[in-house]
Chains A and B, each alone.
Chain A
Amino acid sequence: MPDQTKIIKDGAVVSDEWHLVREETAELPAGPCIVPLARWQAERDTLSARNDIAVWLASDQSPRLLGDDIGKLPLIAVDFPGFADGRGFTYGRELREQHGFTGELRAVGEFMRDQLAYLSRCGFNSFALQNSDLTAALASLKDFSVHYQVSVDNPVPIFRVRAN
């Protein structure tokens, strides 16, 4: 049975159909699964035949390790082993901006509500946020309405807006 936990996705609280498989060797439950990168690499042929398998990257695993599979995956998750580990912010932008990933990009792990705004600017559109009131947390997605930099949600930096 897939978990009926709630997540934030595309700015709303929704039920989650994906099962996050943390262990490399666990028996895969029925239904959509997010597997560790190593598992994907080891069983790529069988797993890629299914269309309900996604991959999660640990914080020391660059999206580059997925190579051309990026375009084929319905969902990629990035794990935050602690909220202070900011590597996933870079992975998010690289997936969206350099690898052209258009599927669901999900943050999993120990990130916190107050990082939602930056995560979403880095291209994440779903958040398996733990220990938080998800409905209240939606507000944190909208902490800022203007931004200086180029980012996934803002392809035009302010200096170009001002010049017009």
Chain B
Amino acid sequence: MYRYDQYDQQMINERVAQFRDQTQRYLAGEISDAQFLPLRLQNGLYIQRLAPMLRICVPYGTLNAAQMRKLAEVSRKYDKGYAHISTRQNVQLNWPKLEEVPDILADLATVEMHANQTSGNCIRNFTADQFSGVAQDEIEDARPWCEILRQWATFHPEFAFLPRKFKIAICGSERDRAAVAFHDIGLEIIKTAAGETAFKVFVGGGLGRTPVIGALIHDCLPKEHVMSYLDAILRVYNQLGRRDNKFKARIKILVKAMGAEAFKQKVEEEWQAIKDGPMTLTQDAIDHAFSFFQPPAYEAQDAATAQSALDDKCLSDPSFAAWIKHNVVAHKQPGYAAVNLSLKETGVAPGDITAEQMEAVADLCERYGFGELRSTHQQNLVLPDVRKADLYALWQELQTHRMASAVIGTLNDIICCPGGDFCSLANAKSIPVAEAIQRRFDDIDYLYDLGEIELNISGCMNACGHHHIGHIGILGVDKKGQEFYQVSLGGSQSNDAAIGKILGPSFAQDDIPDVVSKILETYVDHRTEEERFLDTYRRVGIEPFKERVYA
């Protein structure tokens, strides 16, 4: 993974000093609440319903063991001994004290971590496929590109006061696991006929109250121009994006209003003025970034023997077999696998992780891998480089740490925002809804029979839980002061990106498990063999589901 040199470290140290000074001036009454707001947000600090919330950046979901240990330490020292993995691969602390945040940031800086630009109207953390570098269907590793652009975006002087927040994702594999169509900018890595790296550029996607699938504005952007092209997009947005209405300020509204073609023209104009300037990437710079993401020292494995030993173990232990099937992912390197650690234990808020678990994970990624791990947009963790021969031992250890639930990709791998329990914007709670669903569908065989289903819950239309793109989406709404839930079907975040359709009138919280149950029964009745939930839904449409649920 990327390691800081003297420049990165100096910048991060100066940032901590800057925010320490700002916090002191704020506490001394020298900065108003309104002025402090963007300053603290750009350092990750929200003020929430119950306490401040600090969102710590995990650049494109990559972490190492030392960082994980530091997170554990920080969560104990300054918080309640646990943290939360967000759908944008970051880590959140729910109970820090405002006056201690500079100390937290100083602690984090010792392990090359920070909370820069994790909130506020600026360019946010880049997100990428959690399997970057190890995925079998990879075209090119997205991480070096994320790092190049992370540096471009970090403390970008021109774009710190945009009309609204700005999120960018990069996907380097055939299957899009980064949801590029739902970002302000989505970059898809492609190879030209000559074998050169280039990017497809999507702009104006997003969720929130106006879900939009991004428009393609460049179908083959040469790699050396990626920085100047993004600068041009941001420059158009910074000048023309709406600032009169917060709900119409995202770039998606601008792209819609102008039309994608006209927007693209504007970008071209701005780009011509800066293209081929000093922002043009050199091959040295690209090589430098890639040098940090070279394959680790994999041991030569007898892949066939490892696989047959694994098959034998699976035959003799069905629970292990289920875990292999659901939580373990194929790897580029023969004899290795990538492993999902589930943070979806029933009774625990989805994505929550205790300090003990963080420390355990830090140890595990050193013993079963090369000291690195990933956070995922599904709010789980990944050990990217596990020898197949070690999978059984790892599984046993994960069980003692309660991270072995073999539910990845099933109904119970719920994506869920903090909702009304923590968030002041919520219409309704979301965590108890997730738990009620997990409790109702606790029959693992039934879950497996249902196959791949993504169920996403948001506590309000800001869509932090990505309800629009869940195969089943649940959205908290306010109905005459009561917490109600709207259900949608058919969303998808993948290459076949789609926004879910609303099923009909909303439901009370207690009814949700029954509603989900009826939706699933409808699917089971209509499915053909091998058809996933989403496929059946697409074939039969929403009507049969409606009929059953509102019967």
Does chain A have a CB within 8 A of B527?
A: no
Given contacts A83-B38, A84-B161, contact A98 B273 (CB under 8 A): yes
Given contacts A149-B152, A150-B279, contact A118 B285 (CB under 8 A): no
Given contacts A62-B239, A150-B279, A162-B288, contact A89 B273 (CB under 8 A): no
A148-B151 in contact (CB<8A): yes
Does chain A have a CB within 8 A of B494?
A: no
Contact with B along A76-95 (1 / 0, CB 8 A): 00000001111101100100
Given contacts A160-B282, A163-B285, contact A148 B161 (CB under 8 A): no
Query: Which chain A residue has the least Cβ–Cβ distance from B241?
Result: A87
CA distance A118 to B156 in the complex (A): 8
Taking the closest CB of chain A, its distance from the CB of B85, in whole angstroms, is 27
Taking the closest CB of chain B, its distance from the CB of A44, in whole angstroms, is 24
Contact with A along B280-291 (1 / 0, CB 8 A): 011011001000
A160-B158 in contact (CB<8A): no
A162-B5 in contact (CB<8A): yes
B14-A143 in contact (CB<8A): yes
Interface-facing stretch out of A8-16, A32-40, A67-75, A151-159: A151-159
Does chain A have a CB within 8 A of B392?
A: no
Does chain A have a CB within 8 A of B458?
A: no
B282-A163 in contact (CB<8A): yes
Taking the closest CB of chain A, its distance from the CB of B423, in whole angstroms, is 22
B239-A90 in contact (CB<8A): yes
How many Cβ-Cβ contacts under 8 Å join chain A to chain B? 109
A144-B155 in contact (CB<8A): yes
Which residues of chain A in 127-164 are interfacial with respect to chain B, using CB atoms and an 8 Å cutoff? 139, 143-151, 155-163
CA distance A62 to B157 in the complex (A): 18
CA distance A112 to B238 in the complex (A): 19
Does chain A have a CB within 8 A of B160?
A: yes
A163-B151 in contact (CB<8A): no
Residues of A within 8 A of B235 (CB): 90
Which of A83, A114, A118 is close to B157, meaning CB atoms less than 8 Å apart?
A118
Contact with A along B29-45 (1 / 0, CB 8 A): 00100010011000000
Given contacts A86-B238, A159-B151, contact A122 B278 (CB under 8 A): no
Does chain A have a CB within 8 A of B433?
A: no
Given contacts A83-B35, A150-B277, A162-B285, contact A89 B158 (CB under 8 A): yes
Query: Which chain A residue has the least Cβ–Cβ distance from B154?
Result: A148
Does chain B have a CB within 8 A of A121?
A: yes
A159-B239 in contact (CB<8A): no
Q: Number of B residues contacting the other chain (C-beta, 8 Å)?
A: 40
Does chain B have a CB within 8 A of A66?
A: no
CA distance A158 to B148 in the complex (A): 10
B288-A159 in contact (CB<8A): yes
Query: Which chain A residue has the least Cβ–Cβ distance from B22?
Result: A114
A163-B288 in contact (CB<8A): yes
Taking the closest CB of chain A, its distance from the CB of B510, in whole angstroms, is 42
Does chain A have a CB within 8 A of B162?
A: yes
A159-B148 in contact (CB<8A): yes
A144-B11 in contact (CB<8A): yes
Residues of B within 8 A of A150 (CB): 277-279
A145-B243 in contact (CB<8A): no
CA distance A81 to B165 in the complex (A): 20
Which residues of chain B in 148-193 are interfacial with respect to chain A, using CB atoms and an 8 Å cutoff? 148, 151-152, 154-162
Residues of A within 8 A of B278 (CB): 150, 155-157, 160
Does chain B have a CB within 8 A of A117?
A: yes
Query: Which chain B residue has the least Cβ–Cβ distance from A143?
Result: B18
Residues of A within 8 A of B277 (CB): 150
Residues of A within 8 A of B35 (CB): 83, 112, 114
B239-A87 in contact (CB<8A): yes
Residues of B within 8 A of A87 (CB): 238-239, 243
Contact with B along A1-35 (1 / 0, CB 8 A): 00000000000000000000000000000000000
A144-B14 in contact (CB<8A): yes
Does chain A have a CB within 8 A of B550?
A: no
B151-A89 in contact (CB<8A): no
CA distance A93 to B38 in the complex (A): 22
Residues of A within 8 A of B446 (CB): none
A149-B156 in contact (CB<8A): yes
Query: Which chain B residue has the least Cβ–Cβ distance from A153?
Result: B157
B158-A90 in contact (CB<8A): yes
Residues of A within 8 A of B151 (CB): 148-149, 158-159
Residues of A within 8 A of B155 (CB): 118, 144, 147-149
Residues of A within 8 A of B160 (CB): 86, 89, 115, 118
CA distance A119 to B235 in the complex (A): 15
CA distance A132 to B395 in the complex (A): 59
Residues of A within 8 A of B10 (CB): 145-146
B14-A148 in contact (CB<8A): no
10 A-B pairs in the complex with CB atoms less than 8 angstroms apart: A83-B35, A87-B238, A89-B159, A98-B273, A112-B31, A114-B31, A143-B18, A148-B7, A157-B279, A159-B284
Residues of B within 8 A of A (CB): 5, 7, 10-11, 14-15, 18, 21-22, 31, 35, 38-39, 121, 148, 151-152, 154-162, 235, 238-239, 243, 273-274, 277-279, 281-282, 284-285, 288
| Nearest 9 A/B pairs, CB to CB | A86-B161, A159-B285, A121-B157, A118-B157, A163-B284, A148-B151, A89-B158, A143-B18, A150-B278
